[in-house]
């Protein structure tokens, strides 16, 4: 059995060239491509998620780690010979209408991708009908709404109401987040969950889809 701990450590440290070198060594050593991704690269990123959540790592370090993980994944993917990397589920994510903040939302998208989810990042300033149209088009298991303004967080309720009107609410879990959002607000508007940070959003999606 191949030992991926150095590869995971290189991801955690965001050492892109070392990640590439160790990924190549694992490939040359005959390690299973999927094991390289799951037990080496994603395993490292899971540690990053946990450290980010506990305040031991910060946004720039998370971004560097995610980029180094992506470099490794890009090397392994061609070896999967058309096999799909098993997806943890499909998540649509976007920032609601009137709100242009996207740094945190993009970080959530990145961490979800790193956690094995298929992510469709819809962008910013999205009216409820845009989310509903995207649910119809992409058929996700989860939809993630982000808002950073106290004025725009109310749009989240409109998205949920429109999903109900269109008969789609039972088909998709709705999670919400952003600086002004709380657990109480998520219960009040009938969301399925709230995550205060990107790593918790990954845990929440895993829990909702278990």
The footprint of ligand B1M (CB under 6 A) covers: 59, 93, 98-105, 107-108, 144-146, 148-150, 175-180, 195, 197-198, 201
Nearer to ligand B1M, 2 or 185 (CB): 185
Separation CA 93–CA 74 (nearest Å):
23
Nearer to ligand B1M, 4 or 194 (CB): 194
**Residue 96, H or E segment:** strand 90-96
**Shortest approach of ligand B1M to residue 174 CB, angstroms?**
9
**Shortest approach of ligand B1M to residue 65 CB, angstroms?**
14
Question: How many other C-beta atoms can be found within 10 angstroms of the C-beta atom of residue 74?
Answer: 11
Dig out the tokens for 204 from the structure: 């929440």
The Cα angle at residue 106 between residues 54 and 42, in degrees rounded to 5: 60
**Shortest approach of ligand B1M to residue 101 CB, angstroms?**
4
**Shortest approach of ligand B1M to residue 72 CB, angstroms?**
23
Nearer to ligand B1M, 133 or 149 (CB): 149
Given a contact cutoff of 8 angstroms between Cβ atoms, the answer to whether 129 and 106 are in contact is no
The CA distances from residue 16 to 103, 177, 207, in Å, are 22, 30, 31
Nearer to ligand B1M, 98 or 190 (CB): 98
């Amino acid at each position: 059995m191949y030992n991926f701990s150095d590869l995971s450590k290189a991801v955690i440290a965001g050492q892109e060239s070392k990640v590439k070198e160790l990924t190549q060594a694992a490939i040359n050593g005959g390690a299973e491509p999927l094991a390289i991704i799951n037990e080496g690269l994603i395993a490292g990123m899971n540690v990053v998620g946990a450290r980010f959540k506990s305040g031991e790592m910060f946004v720039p370090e998370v971004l560097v780690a995610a980029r180094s993980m992506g470099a490794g994944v890009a090397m392994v993917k061609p070896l999967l010979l058309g096999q799909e990397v098993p997806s943890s589920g499909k998540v649509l994510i976007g920032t609601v209408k009137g709100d242009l903040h996207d740094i945190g939302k993009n970080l959530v998208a990145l961490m979800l991708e790193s956690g094995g989810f298929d992510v469709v990042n819809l962008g910013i300033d999205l009216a409820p009908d845009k989310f509903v149209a995207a649910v119809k088009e992409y058929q996700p298991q989860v939809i993630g709404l982000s808002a950073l303004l106290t004025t725009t967080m109310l749009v989240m309720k409109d998205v949920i109401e429109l999903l109900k009107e269109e008969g789609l609410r039972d088909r998709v879990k709705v999670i919400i987040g952003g600086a002004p959002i709380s657990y109480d607000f998520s219960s009040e508007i009938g969301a399925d969950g709230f995550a205060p940070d990107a790593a918790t959003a990954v845990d929440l999606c895993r829990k909702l889809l278990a």
